[in-house]
Amino acid sequence: MNPLEGKSMEIEVTHGTGNVFADLGMPDAADRQTKTRLAFEVNKIIKARKLKQADAGQLLGIPQSKISAVVNYRLDGFSVERLMGFLTALDQDVEIMIRPSRSHGAGHVSVHAVR
């Protein structure tokens, strides 16, 4: 017999903002999310091309240890611009679009991959 049978349970649900770093109260949440999305795309390409970290590092002009940092999402040592540079070195186009905020408040940065 289920000990909870017949008992009413209320579960509180907290909806996130769409940015896990902001939800966790981390500083520079928008920048962290942007870097994570860019690194995700870099990692997808490295994996799809079956590149070893040393080979990827040579292609991107950085040591294998830095590729390891990107692969493991340790991104404090990388700027958004540098990660975008990695994508262009991997034969990807990176576009930046600026438009008025749809939410009538502060704007935000988002990264979308188009395949």
Using one digit for the tens of pLDDT, what is the confidence trace for 52-97? Answer: 999 999 999 999 999 999 999 999 999 999 999 999 999 999 998 8
- Domain membership of residue 32 (yes or no) is yes
d(CA 12, CA 21): 21
Residue with tokens 């395949």: 115
Q: Is the dihedral of CA 61, 64, 65, 70 positive or negative?
A: positive
Structural domain that includes position 40:
20-89
- Domain membership of residue 77 (yes or no) is yes
Q: How many domains does the chain have?
A: 1
Query: Would you place residue 10 in the very low, low, confident or very high pLDDT band (cuts 50, 70, 90)?
Result: confident
- Domain membership of residue 99 (yes or no) is no
Query: Contact 38/87 with Cβ under 8 angstroms?
Result: yes
pLDDT confidence of residue 22: 77
Using alpha carbons, list the distances in angstroms from residue 3 to 9, 25, 39, 84: 12, 37, 46, 54
CATH number at residue 48: 1.10.260.40
Mean of pLDDT values over 26-42: 92
- Domain membership of residue 53 (yes or no) is yes
Q: What is the mean pLDDT of the chain?
A: 89
- Domain membership of residue 96 (yes or no) is no
Using alpha carbons, list the distances in angstroms from residue 111 to 4, 19, 43, 94: 44, 12, 15, 10
Look at 3 and 115; give whichever has higher pLDDT: 115
- Domain membership of residue 98 (yes or no) is no
Mean of pLDDT values over 13-35: 85
- Domain membership of residue 35 (yes or no) is yes
Query: Would you place residue 23 in the very low, low, confident or very high pLDDT band (cuts 50, 70, 90)?
Result: confident
- Domain membership of residue 82 (yes or no) is yes
pLDDT confidence of residue 1: 61
